[in-house]
């Protein structure tokens, strides 16, 4: 059974800030990746292993809503959930907050399920099992 949700903590790096003094907008997508990496590891299907088995999850769509600032060295919490979306795609939802609970950003990424040649495939049995 997959985790209902995974929780990840990270600190904002100086390299992730911009001259507005908060995190640069594209970092949210990099943090979303950290969230889904953790979710997949907890589900027993680390993404590095998925790729080695020839199943890749390239992005089809990404959506981010920005709720509040986050400064260098702030500790953030990522709560990630995942689900199959249709027959050959997966969706990860991530909510990023301060440890205080104050919201930073939230959104989702939608992923195709493809083989090593980039062709869309039905989810392999082990993926269906992990998601069941």
Binding site for a copy of itself (CB under 8 A): 11, 13-15, 17-22, 24-30, 33-34, 37, 46-48, 51, 56, 58-66, 69, 71-73, 109, 118
Shortest spacing between CB 98 and a copy of itself, in angstroms: 14
Nearer to a copy of itself, 24 or 122 (CB): 24
Task: Give the residue with the Cβ less far from a copy of itself, 34 or 84.
Answer: 34
Q: Which is nearer to a copy of itself, 15 or 125 (CB)?
A: 15
- Of the candidates 2, 87, 12, the residue with the CA atom closest to the CA atom of residue 39: 2
Shortest distance (Å) from residue 120 CB to a copy of itself: 14
The CA distance from 32 to 58, in Å, is 14
Cα-to-chain-centroid distance, residue 15 = 20
Spatial distance between the Cα atoms of 57 and 32, rounded to a whole number of angstroms: 14
Output the six-digit token pair for 91: 């969706």
Beta bridge pairs of residue 114: 56, 120
């Amino acid at each position: 059974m997959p985790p209902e949700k995974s929780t990840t903590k990270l600190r904002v790096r100086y390299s992730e800030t911009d001259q507005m003094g908060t995190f640069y907008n594209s970092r949210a997508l990099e943090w979303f990746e950290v969230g889904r990496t953790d979710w997949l590891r907890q589900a027993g299907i680390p993404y590095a292993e998925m790729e080695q088995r020839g199943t890749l999850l390239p992005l089809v769509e990404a959506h981010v809503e920005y709720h509040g600032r986050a400064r260098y060295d702030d500790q953030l919490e990522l709560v990630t959930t995942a689900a199959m979306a249709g027959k050959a795609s997966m969706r990860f939802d991530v909510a990023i907050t301060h440890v205080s609970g104050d919201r930073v950003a939230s959104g989702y990424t939608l992923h195709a399920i493809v083989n090593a040649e980039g062709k869309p495939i039905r989810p392999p049995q082990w993926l269906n099992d992990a998601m069941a």
